Amino acid sequence: MIIVITGPTGVGKTKLSIELAKIYNGEIINADSMQVYKELDIGTAKATLKEREGIPHYLLDIKSLTEDYNIYNYQLDCRSKITEIKNKNKIPIIVGGTGLYIKGALYDYQLSYEETKDEEFNDLSNDEIYEELIAYDPDLNIDKNNRRRLVRYLNKKRKETLITKTKPELLYNDVIFIGLTTDTEKLYSIIDKRVDKMILDGLVDEVKALHKKYPESRALNTAIGYKELIDFFEDQSTFNNSIDLIKKNSRNYAKRQYTFFNNQLNLHWFNVNYENFQETINEVINYIEEKQKEQ
pTM: 0.81
Percent of the chain with pLDDT over 70: 89
Residue 202, pLDDT score: 96
Q: Does the structure show a pLDDT above 60 at 138?
A: no
User: CB under 8 Å to 179, separation ≥6 — which residues?
Assistant: 6, 7, 261, 265, 267, 268, 269, 270
pLDDT band (50, 70, 90) for residue 127: confident
Residue 222, pLDDT score: 87
Contact between 241 and 229 under an 8 Å Cβ cutoff? The reply is no
Helix axes 126-136, 147-160, angle to 10 degrees: 40
Contact between 223 and 39 under an 8 Å Cβ cutoff? The reply is no
Contact between 67 and 39 under an 8 Å Cβ cutoff? The reply is no
The overall longest dimension of the chain from CA atoms, in Å, is 58
Residue 70, pLDDT score: 83
Secondary structure of residue 6 in the 3-state scheme = strand
Contact between 272 and 280 under an 8 Å Cβ cutoff? The reply is yes
For residue 153, count other CB atoms closer than 10 A to its CB: 23
The stretch 140-149 carries a mean pLDDT of 76
Percent of the chain with pLDDT over 90: 63
Q: How far is 16 from 37, CA to CA, in rounded Å?
A: 22
Secondary structure of residue 211 in the 3-state scheme = helix
Q: How far is 275 from 171, CA to CA, in rounded Å?
A: 37
User: Among 207, 237, 168, which Cα is nearest to 42's?
Assistant: 207
Residue 77, φ and ψ in degrees, nearest 5: -70, -45
Q: Does the structure show a pLDDT above 90 at 212?
A: yes
Contact between 287 and 268 under an 8 Å Cβ cutoff? The reply is yes
Q: Does the structure show a pLDDT above 70 at 158?
A: no
Residue 78, pLDDT score: 97
Residue 164, pLDDT score: 52
Residue 135, pLDDT score: 62
The stretch 220-231 carries a mean pLDDT of 92
Containing 270, the helix (H) or strand (E) segment is strand 268-271
Q: Write out pLDDT tens, residues 1-36.
A: 999 999 998 899 999 999 999 999 999 999 999 999
Q: Does the structure show a pLDDT above 90 at 68?
A: no
Residue 9, φ and ψ in degrees, nearest 5: -60, 135
Q: How far is 189 from 193, CA to CA, in rounded Å?
A: 6
